Structure 1
């Protein structure tokens, strides 16, 4: 399958299940399509957790069963509404299943056309550029990102594809090979990509790279369009124009698609990219109560991808309820409130372990300090200018002045014309949380804002994302309102003449403006976007061509598959697990859980005693872990991490390990106790035949058997 074909397949794979479930449950086709992504990941998240309780693997077959169950639940949900409508038999089944104006908000209602064009164009430009850059990077779609968390993401995808274990509650089996200590880690992002890789016939790293190029590119344009609909509490002509423009402008925001990708916070990036969609899902419910089921599924999807993002949805929905729903309810204040709360309650109950994982993360990261350098205006100035980490590095000409003025005008439109105060409050609250993370306030407000910020690692480059989304949505509203004014919409509506002409003129003008904006947005941001996208994927910081050659050779050795390979987690050696599937002791730059005295700890700190005959714990650790090989590739990820000299120096003179492969600074050592002298010599000959550097001046390997 070509890269382009795989990307288009990813679009269908990640949207079709969610669309089908949403449509069957009662949403009309345009809304079901726009909100499909979080619903799909809700099915994946719950399915991964449920099948993790059984001995069955989570794969395409069990995922298919999960989708079928979700469709049955959606059908039963819709039947319940239809049955209620038919009480007394006065309403026919067709009318009960399709209540209200059948044409309104359906595919026959053209309200969706312009937003769909904007979302489609925004997604296509972002995804196509990311994929184009990807295939021209070293190793193409198999490129190894040299960042921190991406190793874990890639290894998680490999683990799920190989074992079928995808539950968030069982990620300890991946991270903690020795102890299997429990680890709660949101896994829907990884499980979805593993399923995609299986369906597309891709290895884990290509599946991850292609999906990461496509998923955020789909999510942010859709989310910004939905956020406009939510801000305006309308899908009228002005909202349609604004939704299309906002979707197109997602590409231009460094803080959305580009900086988060560069730092490797991929599940978080995708989760924030879904927040606007899920907010709109909730706000649809009072007017279309059948939408409560897909809203609950979307909420679960958000929890399953990254629980932190839920705070964005909760804040937006709570403010909307307080200042909009209670002021102008769809049916009644009480019923609207209950129906707004129901999806959140159902979603939380359905995936409570994910929520607990998010709470645990908050405690772990509360002590993190932001790395942003604050210039003029301090924390508030940096937050207002959206000038957080890495923006100036890749986008030195980024100037939000025009966008901020337009957003201010859009806020006036929302408050004065639409009576929607909550978007401004949402922006202000998000801005305050960001400023507090950059420089904590020394008062009770700092404590309150810090509680939210802690869930987002208390870092400005994460917390700024809802701020940026609000600015883009509000600015698009201002431009759309300007288009409507120029097309004399207020005059036509006041006098009841020329409304159709004004509407058509507005839509044509909006479409022309969007079409003109696409190349401008791209030209303005492409250089910085490509630099941010490529920077972590280009240098050989952790994994070089020599490393990949060593990985490929070790993968040809049967013993590597029978036991485990070890090294220094800080040098990134466990990329071999994602790249070739060779089982390793570590699966992340972070250490596995075990503590002092564990076999992993003993071998790491006392590897120079292997084979010396007077350190029983070391010999026992080798047996307990069944380590067959060590692979070393200095240096360490962080500058403060010292080289592991017990391996780097002692191994070359050790009686317990024998160097069998060397390429540049990368070396592989076999554990003597696991092999005969003849086997060790054969490995060295085979390695030399496969490009290993000559191992000069080495003593003969010890015959251990």
Structure 2
């Protein structure tokens, strides 16, 4: 657990501090710069990993620090240019809408973020330490987790952090092009040597650690924006702190995403409201145009779905609020938004290029997770109140539902129509991913497509709005209680007046204690959600024993391991650093010799063509660990009936002339290639 705590602390510092320093250098006030720290940090990572790969620099802790220094210099230049006489008129310093927070409001905000972060980190990490096989070296059984862990190992090992070069990891033989938004992985690779965690330990702790920061920050930014429609800056900060704390109680926010390993998506979405708030504020304070664009590019590079959420928030704000209360005039305000968007496009050029390049293999709108037998009303209820897969057994959570409804009522009272509309829009998009909503199905599906139309990913978005609204409800109650108690204590007597000033801090402290207590009550259920896919169904203790046995064998580290990608044995790479032919459950651009070797494994020693491939690729060991991930990948191949089958089945049943079993434990077997096969042919 100490390692988990250490990774969480280091993650918080590395994630927030560089971006906060850059944001402050670009004229943002400290509270805003700290809030924007994570998206700006990810923007720095995204730009410099691509740049470094293009010029041959490795991405590591030293070059990452260099990237921060260069960005700080660029931020200094930006601030200097804004101060010149010629540009001062274009970027006038407006009357501050957000005056500096007083000490009590600042402490309330910080306290709420800390409560939320601690609940999330403990709830996600502690179950692995206490109950999962191998502790923090436990293997998640979900498809994407192998990619994330391997990416952390790959970037740390090679120094290649560019999102445009991830094909080199996905296919050992061809290095075919593949784009993947990997700023999250690149930042984690920098953290690995700082914490001393191995790739699997880092993956298991870094995943919840990042969400423990970004979820409370993102929800707090939404709540602060909501609250400013009615309250002053100090009271809004108190409400934002309450929302940050209560975000840890929504199971669909951190815990489902940790279970299903869609952490980069969750991180990108959770920081999207921060970037959206910066864009909105840039309309009134045009000095924020560049910081807003940088933050938005960081969100997009982390996961493009975050750009969709930020875009929806900004568009709804413009239609329902900005259009009717312009800062400098409608046309001028629109031009500010256009300039911000244009700079963002420049910053996300690698994302645009990569996304277009892999468009043929990523038809997002055509993912379909709809369930039969669910009516429209039930689908809307599940979408609105955190009841979609995999939370059906935990639905309904009446406490959260009541708080959400109260919060939506507060939003209506504050006339925060854009916030209400955002909640409604994503409830409809989420419901449409569960059940078709008639004529709305196509436009809603187009938005949801960027979230793979996956109910749990879309529920995450709804839950962010719901948590912000619930935080408003709790915060308003706390403020009302503080005002009531303060009225009772106030008088002309100096001592009683001093006690009255402590009414609000005391009410906030009680609220935080109650939320922390609710986190304790919810711990068992939420911890079970976060650690559900950890039982060793595909990769278990026998596999780990085989991997560690193999890493000590002669020639294993200097050769290629032939594995069945469908079985997930690519985990041998992040666990030991050995090189498998297939480091993931799929590969882009299969080569012909890969196909021949994969389907001809049982002919090693009997087919000269297969044997030549073994020599050419320097294969010395073969590992087999059934079952395969998907049902159609098991059993006898039957292409006519759509059954791919298992190419290693013949090896398992009859062996291969050129392979000798040298390790067997449970379902795992390791074969060594005979010296006769490896010997040069005359």
User: Same-fold call, TM > 0.5?
Assistant: yes
Aligned to 1:158: 153
Matching of residue 131 in structure 1 with residue 132 in structure 2? no
Cα 1:105/1:587, change in 2 over 3 Å = farther
Q: How do 1:183-222 and structure 2 match up within 5 A?
A: 183-222=178-217
Q: How do 1:53-132 and structure 2 match up within 5 A?
A: 53-84=54-85, 105-106=99-100, 111-132=105-126
| Post-superposition offset of 1:646 | 4.5
> Residue 430 of structure 2 aligns to a residue in which SS?
helix
Matching of residue 351 in structure 1 with residue 348 in structure 2? yes
**Matched residues in 2 for 1:511 and 1:85: separation?**
47
C-alpha contact (below 8 Å) 2:238/2:475 kept by paired residues: yes
Aligned to 1:610: 604
Matching of residue 427 in structure 1 with residue 416 in structure 2? no
Matching of residue 384 in structure 1 with residue 380 in structure 2? no
Deviations 1:432-483 (A, max 9, x none): 111222123343x322111111111111111122212112212332343444
**Matched residues in 1 for 2:141 and 2:576: separation?**
17
**Matched residues in 2 for 1:665 and 1:704: separation?**
34
Matching of residue 599 in structure 1 with residue 593 in structure 2? yes
1:669 aligns with one of 661, 668, 671: 671
Cα 1:653/1:404, change in 2 over 3 Å = closer
Matching of residue 553 in structure 1 with residue 555 in structure 2? no
| Post-superposition offset of 1:293 | 2.5
Q: How do 1:73-472 and structure 2 match up within 5 A?
A: 73-84=74-85, 105-106=99-100, 111-136=105-130, 137-233=132-228, 236-358=233-355, 360=358, 363-370=362-369, 372=371, 375=374, 377-393=377-393, 400-415=400-415, 420-443=416-439, 445-472=440-467
Cα 1:398/1:485, change in 2 over 3 Å = closer
Deviates further, 245-254 or 293-302: 293-302
Q: How do 1:629-668 and structure 2 match up within 5 A?
A: 629-643=621-635, 646-650=647-651, 653-668=655-670
Deviations 1:148-177 (A, max 9, x none): 100010011111111111111111111011
C-alpha contact (below 8 Å) 1:18/1:37 kept by paired residues: yes
| Post-superposition offset of 1:612 | 0.7
> Residue 620 of structure 2 aligns to a residue in which SS?
strand
C-alpha contact (below 8 Å) 2:250/2:400 kept by paired residues: no
C-alpha contact (below 8 Å) 2:102/2:234 kept by paired residues: no
C-alpha contact (below 8 Å) 1:307/1:355 kept by paired residues: no
Aligned to 1:689: none
> Residue 535 of structure 1 aligns to a residue in which SS?
coil
Matching of residue 588 in structure 1 with residue 584 in structure 2? yes
Deviates further, 63-72 or 133-142: 133-142
| Post-superposition offset of 1:190 | 0.7
Deviations 1:334-356 (A, max 9, x none): 33333334333212212223134
Q: TM-score, normalised by structure 2?
A: 0.89
| Post-superposition offset of 1:231 | 2.3
Deviates further, 291-300 or 369-378: 369-378
Aligned to 2:13: 12
Deviates further, 509-518 or 238-247: 509-518
C-alpha contact (below 8 Å) 2:184/2:264 kept by paired residues: yes
> Residue 67 of structure 2 aligns to a residue in which SS?
helix
| Post-superposition offset of 1:207 | 1.8
**Matched residues in 2 for 1:131 and 1:98: separation?**
47
> Residue 569 of structure 2 aligns to a residue in which SS?
coil
> Residue 631 of structure 1 aligns to a residue in which SS?
strand
Cα 1:118/1:358, change in 2 over 3 Å = farther
> Residue 343 of structure 2 aligns to a residue in which SS?
helix
Q: TM-score, normalised by structure 1?
A: 0.86
Deviates further, 197-206 or 645-654: 645-654
C-alpha contact (below 8 Å) 2:252/2:456 kept by paired residues: yes
Deviates further, 22-31 or 327-336: 327-336
C-alpha contact (below 8 Å) 2:163/2:180 kept by paired residues: yes
Aligned to 2:639: none
Q: How do 1:470-619 and structure 2 match up within 5 A?
A: 470-485=465-480, 504=501, 507-508=504-505, 510-537=507-534, 539-594=535-590, 598-613=592-607, 616=609, 618-619=610-611
Deviations 1:200-257 (A, max 9, x none): 2332112222211211011111111100122234652442232111111111111111
Deviates further, 602-611 or 306-315: 602-611
C-alpha contact (below 8 Å) 2:155/2:161 kept by paired residues: yes
Cα 1:502/1:237, change in 2 over 3 Å = farther
Cα 1:553/1:458, change in 2 over 3 Å = same
| Post-superposition offset of 1:70 | 0.8
Cα 1:472/1:108, change in 2 over 3 Å = closer
C-alpha contact (below 8 Å) 1:321/1:337 kept by paired residues: no
**Matched residues in 1 for 2:669 and 2:433: separation?**
43
Cα 1:485/1:132, change in 2 over 3 Å = closer
Deviations 1:280-309 (A, max 9, x none): 222222343333332222212111111112
Aligned to 2:26: 25
Cα 1:74/1:650, change in 2 over 3 Å = same
C-alpha contact (below 8 Å) 1:287/1:330 kept by paired residues: yes
| Post-superposition offset of 1:124 | 1.8
C-alpha contact (below 8 Å) 2:239/2:472 kept by paired residues: yes
**Matched residues in 1 for 2:16 and 2:514: separation?**
27
| Post-superposition offset of 1:647 | 2.7
Aligned to 2:638: none
Deviations 1:35-82 (A, max 9, x none): 211111111111111112122211122212211111011111111122
C-alpha contact (below 8 Å) 1:437/1:453 kept by paired residues: yes
